[in-house]
Structure 1
Amino acid sequence: MAPITDRGGAHAELRITVRDLPVMADIGINPHEIGYRQPLIVSVTLGMDRVARDTIDATIDYRQVARAAEALGEQRIALIETFADRLAHACLALSGHAHWCEVTIDKPHALPAGIASITARYETADAAAGRTSAPGT
């Protein structure tokens, strides 16, 4: 899908974000974590071209992003890296509008002080091909 440009020829992109969503998940590698749900803080940003119509099917429904994160919380997953990977792929598959997805998973109880976190960015094959074949790259 070619980028949409405004009347002045500038590239237009939307970023749909669900930020700081609390999700309870059975996640972790330590014996005291296995079989127990603990909080994760999930943030997802998806990039897409601007919408052509003023209807929900022309965009990414952020409620579906939240449901995808909550559904993953119901699964036993060892690593927050795996959680981020699965969530990014689920979000990219939601509508077909997203060109890329960035997922941040914070695990607030992983360390005695501070927050363990992972941020992963994924692009669709079309977006990656367009980026590498663009003039000047």
Structure 2
Amino acid sequence: MNEITTHPFSAPFTELASQATTTVRVRNLELLADIGINPDEVGRRQPLVLSVELELVAETIGAIDETVDYRRIVAAAEELALVHIPLIESFGQRLAARCLAWNAVREARVSIDKPFALTRGMAGVAITMTRPGALTPATNQERRA
């Protein structure tokens, strides 16, 4: 009477991993950036609050070269903050493009809030950039079928 039942979560990791998507995130990163187009903004650093999500290419992560070090994302954002970029849209696109250039990244999502752009509320942008020809996990599954 020792009947063994299978639980849906008892499958080996490798079987479940073929359906996995891994996202590396940095959230609420506060930076002072040389940004703006208005005369009162040019030449002074302004606060930005960034969040970055990077969807990785590998379905399973077993080595550091299959992922992205969080500090690398922060360094890329800090480097861009030193250069005058007129629009937060451009800042976000440049940051997403830098992240997408890393081999491990399939898609980059960057959101930027500019706390003092409005007297009430918060102005911001969101950018999503996908590697050309990148397959989504659903597309990968369809190809295997």
Q: State the TM-score bracket (shorter-chain normalisation).
A: 0.7 to 0.9
Within the candidate set 59, 64, 78, 2:67 is matched to 59
Instruction: Measure the CA separation in 1 of the matches of 2:67 and 2:18.
Output: 20
1:34-113 superposed matches below 5 A: 34-48=42-56, 49-53=58-62, 55-94=63-102, 96-113=103-120
| Structure 2 SS opposite 1:122 | strand
What's the offset of the Cα at 1:10?
5.0
Percent identity, aligned pairs only, is: 41
Structure 2 unaligned regions, length at least 5: 1-12
Moved more, 5-14 or 105-114: 5-14
Task: Report the count of equivalent residues.
Answer: 126
Q: TM-score, normalised by structure 1?
A: 0.84
| Structure 2 SS opposite 1:89 | helix
Q: Which residue of 1 aligns with 2:131?
A: 124
Structure 1 unaligned regions, length at least 5: none
Matched, 1:21 2:29: yes
Letter in 1 for 2:125: I
Q: Structure 1 runs of 4+ off > 3 angstroms? A: none
Letter in 2 for 1:25: A
| Structure 2 SS opposite 1:77 | coil
Q: TM-score, normalised by structure 2?
A: 0.79
| Structure 1 SS opposite 2:117 | coil
Instruction: Measure the CA separation in 1 of the matches of 2:46 and 2:109.
Output: 22
Q: Which residue of 1 aligns with 2:39?
A: 31
Deviations 1:71-129 (A, max 9, x none): 000000100000000000111123x01100000010000000111000010000131xx
What's the offset of the Cα at 1:8?
4.7
Q: Say which structure is richer in strand.
A: 1
Instruction: Measure the CA separation in 1 of the matches of 2:61 and 2:16.
Output: 17
